[in-house]
Structure 1
């Protein structure tokens, strides 16, 4: 099952709660993914985050702080964000201001479930199709991130252990880490696991979906346990 992280940038608590209800209704009906939803009331707070961690952004145009939603979306674009977003507003006078951003929808409040449904279907399609591109001297291969169980450093190479086998790629482990999405958690100096494929944590070991036990180094134990608890409690 896929895990999607959604950002809601909204300063009105009632509007945020109604949007969240519709998002959870979509997830319950869809049954293909789980949602992690994070809330922000200002554009300034949201821009402090690693926005590439999010799969979709719902952005209210009228926000607290100095930046409105349009300003925040434009700042995301300038910083290289490609995350799709939907603007939320009580007024349709802003619709043309959203051009030049990554907006895929302009949703008038009160938001209708059908509009949220369409946005989330778009986000799910993007996540489902997300792939790591393996490009060697004589081979080009696309590997869905959902099919990668874990990655391990091997000198100047990185081993990708997938559901169908192991591929060794000539790329340093630290460079591989920079390309992996948020569901990959470092459990050792040389190992990063896809939290979606972790079946059990016992002491300082974790059991992967291929029945392999991996060691958790002490410095990473807390973050691995927290990530796993977040995943299984969604």
Structure 2
């Protein structure tokens, strides 16, 4: 399957480099190249893309301004020469953040994260027929998991760790990229943990016991977690 992408950058050398990188990725199809944010807004009003390769610092309309204008945002990889924008970029829940000059190896990692997320997503028309399993790609294998077996999904820098009673598997994905595709028994309790409520053995104050491990419930996710827990009590 090919994923469409849009390049938005005001610098001709950067546009040329990114276009070349896209052409070297068989899973990508270049939808268009825009020289500024306003041009990109017009393009996205007419067509949708899967991945947005977006420069931040541009005249008139910055990349961040562009994202704030879009009602439906493509999966976004921010690209900039200015490190101070990194935190702001992640507040917008982008899939990755690349520093110029971007190497092809680092570009491939970002695209891999994006396509993994896109392949993991469940389309609205599929919700009524959701499979009871999913696949995760590791460095050398594609591993099948039953949703019911998964106890915890843990964030570890650019990776996630999927934990079941019998194994732990790492994959190059972000925690936020899988959260929306998980069924209802999964709940986020911390910036680093999503748990399967079916595997909870005890809840003690701000901690959850699953198997032999204790996981913290952070303040930001506490209210939602206990609301979900109350619905399961008798």
Q: TM-score, normalised by structure 2?
A: 0.49
Q: TM-score, normalised by structure 1?
A: 0.49
